[in-house]
Amino acid sequence: MSATTLETVYERLAEAIDATGSEKETLLLAKLALLLAEALGDPDRVVGLIEDAARDLD
């Protein structure tokens, strides 16, 4: 994926989070995570990425 398309994802996500509102944003992101995991078809990799995402949150 080229940098511009990843940037598009970044922008769409920002817009979607704003459009959803803080009450439902967690649900939105959880659904997205399941959809991406299904599309990727590699559960081991996803489990590793969850650990990555959990790093440096503060």
CA angle 10-11-15, nearest 5°? 120
- CB of residue 31 vs other proteins: minimum separation in angstroms? 5
Tell me if 47 contacts other proteins by CB under 8 A. Answer: no
Closest to other proteins by CB, 3 vs 54, is 54
DSSP reduced 3-state for 1: coil
Closest to other proteins by CB, 4 vs 22, is 22
Angstrom distances, CA of residue 6 to CA of 21, 24, 29, 41, 58: 23, 24, 17, 20, 24
In the shown chain, the binding pattern of residues 15 to 44 toward other proteins, with x for contact by CB under 8 A and - for none, equals: -----------xx--xx-xxx--x------
